[in-house]
Amino acid sequence: MPGLLNDTVCLVTGAGGGLGRAYAKLFAAEGAAVVVNDLGGARDGAATSESAAQAVVDEIVAAGGRAIANTSDVSTDEGAAAAIAAAIDGFGDLNVLVNNAGILRDKTLLKLDEEAFDSVMRVHVKSTFFCTQKFAKHRVSKGGGGRIVNTTSVSGMLGNFGQANYAAAKAAIYGFTRTSSIELQKHRISVNCIAPSATTRMTEDLPMFANVDTLTPDHVAPAVLFLASELCGEKTGWVLAAAGARMYAFRVVETAGRFKEETGGVWSPEEISEHWDSIIKL
Ligand code: NAI
């Protein structure tokens, strides 16, 4: 049966549950061979269980798809290398990478400690860096081509109460995506972001997700499939956002600003105050 990902090998990190599980299952249904990576951690990153990734593989195989499990910690150099190697050793290549693994350690800024800050930055940002770099080196060694989908969030793009560490990590992934998309364009590797909103164990206790059955991972998965498939074409560096029935995008905008002719173009703070409205006007 023709699928959007026929003859494609995909690695989805953190795919043992929640959004990643939905992506892996849809990718396999669209013809991809899928590496389901997950170390099976708790929401805050504590403890591990090897069964999470294997359970998703079992679901995919039962539905007639192709998948293998990988339980490495992709926030480490060796773990990311092992996840990429699992694809190449298991299926002979790797064409699509979805950097989805993540944890939450919410605390308001005044209570945030270094451990909660570092662990969230490490899991989100370093896993995205390690996996992206290794994936890109592999694709370049194959002559180019390929697709990367990174995961940012509303919190990273707009900010959210109680998530200074998480928002910093997700905004870092946005900046990383923009630069990677520019650098990898010449190798025909697209690098885009998904900003999902869905009820998972990560969000189920947040007020906007409580008792909501219209914000599911299955609403988000087709957006990630789009970014992972040839339908995405040459689009790169974008942030596609999916929340239930709503499909939208985040764009960072630059205002036209205002130029000063006098005093060699040097603005005084008082002049900035006086012209604030025209400086920030879109
Ligand atoms: P989840 O907690 O169900 O899934 C995250 C998965 O990543 C877990 O299965 C966990 O075991 C795995 N993981 C954590 N650290 C890992 C590591 N070092 N190596 C390998 N696997 C690891 O949460 P959910 O909601 O599915 O989140 C998926 C991604 O989407 C995350 O990056 C999250 O920040 C992001 N996101 C989710 C939103 C939502 O509304 N659910 C909103 C915005 C972003």
Per-residue model confidence (pLDDT) at position 44: 83
pTM given for the model: 0.97
* Cβ proximity of 42 and 31 under 8 Å: no
- Is position 174 annotated as part of the catalytic site? no
| CA–CA distance, 215 with 12 (Å, rounded to integer) | 21
Comparing 16-30, 73-87, 196-210, which segment has the lowest mean pLDDT? Answer: 196-210
Domain boundaries, the chain: 9-251, 255-282
- Closest atom of ligand 1 to 127 CA is 18
Between 211 and 124, name the one with better pLDDT. 124
Is 204 buried (19+), middle (13-18) or exposed (0-12) by CB count in 10 A?
Answer: middle
Classify domain 9-251 at the CATH topology level. Rossmann fold (3.40.50)
Residue-averaged pLDDT of the chain: 96
User: What is the identity of the amino acid at 109?
Assistant: L
What tokens appear for 242 in the block? 């999916």
1 pLDDT exceeds 70?
no
Residue 211 pLDDT grade (very low, low, confident, very high; cuts 50, 70, 90): low
* Cβ proximity of 122 and 181 under 8 Å: no
Taking Cα atoms as reference points, which of 112, 80, 104 lies closest to residue 94? Answer: 80
Comparing 199-213, 240-254, 259-273, which segment has the lowest mean pLDDT? Answer: 199-213
- Closest atom of ligand 1 to 52 CA is 9
Going from the C-alpha of 147 to that of each of 4, 139, 150, 173, the distances in angstroms are 13, 9, 10, 16
| CA–CA distance, 236 with 119 (Å, rounded to integer) | 29
Would strands 239-243 and 96-98 be described as parallel, antiparallel, or unpaired? unpaired
Per-residue model confidence (pLDDT) at position 279: 97
Q: What is the pLDDT of residues 113-158, one digit of tens each?
A: 999 999 999 999 999 999 999 999 999 999 999 999 999 999 999 9
Taking Cα atoms as reference points, which of 237, 164, 239 lies closest to residue 195? Answer: 239
Taking Cα atoms as reference points, which of 241, 135, 150, 253 lies closest to residue 198? Answer: 241
207 pLDDT exceeds 80?
no
Average pLDDT over residues 161-180: 98
Per-residue model confidence (pLDDT) at position 43: 81
Per-residue model confidence (pLDDT) at position 42: 85
Per-residue model confidence (pLDDT) at position 77: 98
Residue 235 pLDDT grade (very low, low, confident, very high; cuts 50, 70, 90): very high
| Ligand 1 pocket, Cβ-based, cut-off 6 angstroms | 13-14, 16-20, 37-41, 43, 45, 52, 73-75, 100-103, 123, 127, 151, 153, 196-198, 200-203
